[in-house]
Amino acid sequence: MPAAQHIERDQDLAMSSDELLQAQLELYHHGLAFVKSLALKAATDLRIPDTIHRRGGAATLSELASDTGIHPTKRSNLRRVMRVLTTTGVFSIVQGKGSNDHAGDGAAYYKLTRVSRLLVERSPHNLSPMVGTIVNTLCWTSLLKMPEWFTQGQEGESAQSHSLVQLANGCTFWDTTKVDGGLFNDGMAADSRIAMKVLLKEHGGAFGEVKSSLVDIGGNHGATASAVARAFPHLKCTVLDLAHVVAAAPASDILTFVAGNMFEYVPPADAVLLKWILHDWKHEDCVKIMRRCKEAIPAKEAGGKVIIIDMVVGYPVTQPNDSIEAQVLLDIYMMGSDGMEREENVWSLIFSEAGFSDYKITPTNGIRSIIEVYP
Ligand SMILES: C[S@@+](CC[C@H](N)C(=O)[O-])C[C@H]1O[C@@H](n2cnc3c(N)ncnc32)[C@H](O)[C@@H]1O
């Protein structure tokens, strides 16, 4: 490029002092976003939400420190972590009238917010296992490999045939769930308990109209299917999952567990449920799974359908910004293991390639939608 053009381009980089400082602030803010995740993980692992709850909903720093076993030399550091978490809305802080002590907390009380109420172990909405499922070394080591992964590949292979998880850890994501001490399964069960409570209450019709049987594919330990079976006792509910997952599932008198591979066989039923399954897989695999589902259900006129609970990125367009941001962040998390979060046009392509004729999307107030797909 001629020198004059360089100079002209460099002028594009010029900024006023205010712009420069604002840009620097924004860059540091983005770069440090990981600290929020790690502070959340620390507070969850230290069971700070449980301590606040046990103490009647408010606790001082000294109480948090003594109840959670914080070493006396680290107490002021706990305050710093709590400052991040109150600034980001995970906890709230109420200033008391006492004078400030060495740690600077004075008579301040920390309280739960709607976010940290989800992290109290005895809550029926306890979502704390999901924090460990999202914030973990596997995910970090994988995503740190992004620049290397993006520039690797061989002719003829699909862009994602070697996942970030494989590149960073030498094994697949599903291999890691076999040896994580149940962390992943606990996270899934916690998510299902909350999601299904709301979905069945607000959008139960999608399940209520199923004639007499439903099979939950990749149904893990049955948290989702149990909720459906309890809400709609007329449904005979079956859970299909991999053999090692089914072997560790708790006994149930309302569910039938089947060990198997969804790429090979889906047990016949009036409806097939896929909650948080297709986002784990690349396009061609989703088409294969959907074809198996189609073989398992009756025709549309006879009530056959597939019910998918997953994200439809950017749908509806009126979603709040934090919902869209969570969707696109989760998409990158899923990229680590070859999965993806999809826009409506991509879902539509999967359905038509798998031979389905129609679908209906019902958005929820959360980040996921219910997609009913008809043969
Ligand atoms: C992201 S989890 C979703 C679990 C559950 N549906 C939920 O939402 O809580 C994906 C599930 O798919 C299962 N799975 C993975 N590969 C499978 C396969 N080939 N056949 C059947 N299940 C599989 C996993 O064991 C896991 O339980």
State in Å: Cα 278 to ligand 1 middle.
Answer: 9
Q: Which of 214, 262, 367 best tests ligand 1's pocket when mutated (most atoms within 8 Å of CB)?
A: 262
Neighbouring C-beta atoms of residue 328, cutoff 10 Å: 12
Structure tokens at 218: 């990749």
The β-bridge relationship of strands 271-275 and 305-310 is parallel
Question: Looking at residues 94-110, what average pLDDT do you find?
Answer: 69
The 8 Å CB, 24+ separation contacts for 195-202 are 195/224, 195/275, 195/309, 195/366, 195/368, 196/223, 196/224, 196/227, 196/228, 197/125, 197/227, 198/364, 198/366, 199/309, 199/364, 199/370, 200/227, 200/228, 200/231, 202/364, 202/365
**Tens digit of each residue's pLDDT (9 = 90 or more) over 166-190:** 999 898 888 888 888 888 999 999 9
Q: Which bin fits 120, alpha (ψ -120 to 50), beta or left (φ > 0)?
A: beta
Cβ-based neighbours of 223, under 8 Å, separated by 6 or more: 188, 189, 192, 193, 196
371 Cβ inside 6 Å of ligand 1: no
In ligand 1, which atom is closest to the CA atom of 185? 27
Cβ-based neighbours of 5, under 8 Å, separated by 6 or more: none
Question: Looking at residues 48-66, what average pLDDT do you find?
Answer: 97
263 Cβ inside 6 Å of ligand 1: yes
**What pLDDT score does 39 carry?**
98
Angle in degrees, 0-180, between the axes of helices 61-68 and 75-87, rounded to the nearest 10: 110
**Tens digit of each residue's pLDDT (9 = 90 or more) over 338-358:** 899 999 999 999 999 999 999
220 Cβ inside 6 Å of ligand 1: yes
337 Cβ inside 6 Å of ligand 1: no
* 59, 46 Cβ separation under 8 angstroms: no
Q: Cβ-count burial of 49 within 10 angstroms (0-12 exposed, 13-18 middle, 19+ buried)?
A: buried
Least confident of 61-70, 72-81, 145-154, 229-238: 145-154
Query: Which residue's alpha carbon is nearest to atom 23 within ligand 1?
Result: 218
Residue 2 pLDDT exceeds 80: no
State in Å: Cα 188 to ligand 1 middle.
Answer: 9
192 Cβ inside 6 Å of ligand 1: yes
Cβ-based neighbours of 233, under 8 Å, separated by 6 or more: none
**What pLDDT score does 160 carry?**
46
Q: How far is CA 266 from CA 215, 239, 271, 297, in A?
A: 8, 10, 11, 9
In ligand 1, which atom is closest to the CA atom of 273? 6
105 Cβ inside 6 Å of ligand 1: no
Q: In CATH, what is the architecture of 146-374?
A: 3-Layer(aba) Sandwich (3.40)
State in Å: Cα 224 to ligand 1 middle.
Answer: 12
327 Cβ inside 6 Å of ligand 1: no
**What pLDDT score does 77 carry?**
96
**Averaged confidence pLDDT in the chain:** 92
State in Å: Cα 185 to ligand 1 middle.
Answer: 9
State in Å: Cα 277 to ligand 1 middle.
Answer: 6
Q: What percentage of the chain exceeds 70 in pLDDT?
A: 93
Question: Looking at residues 246-263, what average pLDDT do you find?
Answer: 95
Is the domain spanning 33-126 CATH 1.10.10.10? The answer is yes
Residue 158 pLDDT exceeds 60: no
Q: Cα 114 to the chain's mean position, in Å?
A: 18
Residue 157 pLDDT exceeds 70: no
Residues identified as active-site: 279
Q: How many residues in the chain? A: 375
Q: Which of 183, 274, 276 best tests ligand 1's pocket when mutated (most atoms within 8 Å of CB)?
A: 276
Domain ranges for the chain: 33-126, 146-374
* 51, 57 Cβ separation under 8 angstroms: no
State in Å: Cα 65 to ligand 1 middle.
Answer: 39
118 Cβ inside 6 Å of ligand 1: no
State in Å: Cα 231 to ligand 1 middle.
Answer: 22
Residue 362 pLDDT exceeds 50: yes
**What pLDDT score does 238 carry?**
98
The band of 275, judged by pLDDT with boundaries at 50, 70 and 90, is very high
In ligand 1, which atom is closest to the CA atom of 216? 6
Residue 98 pLDDT exceeds 70: no
265 Cβ inside 6 Å of ligand 1: no
**Tens digit of each residue's pLDDT (9 = 90 or more) over 286-309:** 999 999 999 999 999 999 999 999
Question: Looking at residues 348-372, what average pLDDT do you find?
Answer: 94
Question: Looking at residues 75-96, what average pLDDT do you find?
Answer: 95
Q: Which is higher by pLDDT, 179 or 235?
A: 235
Task: Sheet with 58-59: list strands edge to edge.
Answer: 58-59, 109-112, 91-94
Q: Is 246 helix (H, G, I), strand (E, B) or coil?
A: helix
In ligand 1, which atom is closest to the CA atom of 189? 9
239 Cβ inside 6 Å of ligand 1: no
